[in-house]
A and B are shown apart, each in its own frame.
Chain A
């Protein structure tokens, strides 16, 4: 079946450090892939997406590339800020339109 595996947290970084959060998936075919972010006390917000192989999604300095060879969609940012502290979820879209989420990775950025 469909599943998403992302690296366990929490991840603690200093401001301006490089961020990578790994995400791999198992699915039939080539599903659309997403990264969502959840700030404390809030709902999920779409951060970026990619709908086909080799697509690169990007937003707010974050990037992720759809790699079908490695079934991966790793999230990266070159220089994190304190305001990036949140929980990040990798997700894929099933044929019915609903999302399958990873368990989430909590990121804490220290000044």
Chain B
């Protein structure tokens, strides 16, 4: 009964390094989302997917790429990390567009030095 699992929970990177954040859900959900949370900004959508093999841009997609090769996984990549990408990243999933709530993971705290 894991729900939405994010890996890793914490990470520190140097500017210019790359990394991938993994989101896995075991609820057979079609829709998956990546948000970032910054102080005083609420959550903002980075990218989302409406099914296996699909991705779409959200509000703040620049500097990120995503892939949805398997229905249960949604990967968020930073090709060349920048200090402005220091944030807490949340993954979410839902069965359909109409069905809420979105199930959220516990977050990944990422610091870029």
Total B residues in contact with A, Cβ cutoff 8 Å: 26
**CA gap between A36 and B90 in the complex, in Å:** 14
Q: Which residues of B contact A (CB under 8 A)?
A: 4, 31, 33, 40-45, 48, 50, 56, 58, 90, 92, 94, 96-98, 100-102, 104-107
**CA gap between A101 and B104 in the complex, in Å:** 14
B100 in contact with A101 (CB, 8 Å): no
Q: Which residues of B contact A43 (CB under 8 A)?
A: 4, 90, 104-107
Q: 13 new A-B pairs (CB below 8 Å) besides A43-B105, A96-B56? A: A43-B4, A43-B90, A43-B104, A44-B43, A44-B92, A44-B104, A96-B97, A97-B48, A97-B96, A98-B33, A98-B48, A99-B102, A103-B40
